[in-house]
Amino acid sequence: MTFYKYAGFWRRFVAYMIDGVIISIIFIVLAFGAGVAFFAGTLSSGSNVWMAEIADPEKMTSLSLWLWMLSTFINIFYFTYFYGSTGRTPGKMLLGLQVVSIEGGPVSYGTAFLRSASYLVSSLFFCLGFLWIGFDARKQGWHDKIAGTVVIMKGNMDQGAGISIQDTIAVSGEAQPVKRPEERINETGESTLP
């Protein structure tokens, strides 16, 4: 069994920002393609129609809604794919983080989807669900609590709150029987597991 420390707020924030840059690049490429198609379609009808399309608030609201839905879809797909396949997004890989179940096992695609979609819940109320990571004993955000996941730092740690995991489960991601993690007591004498 290897002990892994729970990843804190700032390390996870930086990983999320790295992923945000990657997602933004994907979004810009797709939005640019959609914008070219939109303007090519309106230009083929004549320049007066193009000006009317841009000036029409209803059309621009519809376009904004489609762009928001595209952004949401890209985010959910991106995080679901990476969490379901390896438990690590490129940002988490760079910072040595991994998403695992509360028991320490790999995350399924269903759990990965639930966790990714739950980012919407965590972003409500001034992103309180994300800020919760800084105050929780297991460093879980609302999306982690909903999906039953934790984020660990890859590498042996000797102190602080964390989880003990069989090496073959967390490292390889293979589906194997999972044992209940050992309970650790933090420096204040509190249990890190319920």
The two structure tokens encoding residue 108? 């399924």
**What is the tens place of the pLDDT at every residue in 42-96?**
667 666 666 666 677 777 787 788 888 989 999 999 999 999 999 999 999 999 9
Coil, strand or helix at 1: coil
**What is the tens place of the pLDDT at every residue in 99-139?**
999 998 999 999 999 999 999 999 988 999 999 999 999 99
Segments of the chain assigned E as strands: 2-5, 97-101, 149-153, 162-165
Q: What's this model's pTM, rounded to 2 decimal places?
A: 0.74
How far does CA 64 lie from the centroid of its chain?
A: 23
pLDDT for 175: 43
- The stretch 4-13 carries a mean pLDDT of 93
Q: How far apart are CA 104 and CA 3, in angstroms?
A: 10
**What is the tens place of the pLDDT at every residue in 91-100?**
999 999 999 9
Neighbours of 39 (CB within 10 A): 13
The two structure tokens encoding residue 120? 């919407």
Gyration radius of the chain over CA positions:
21
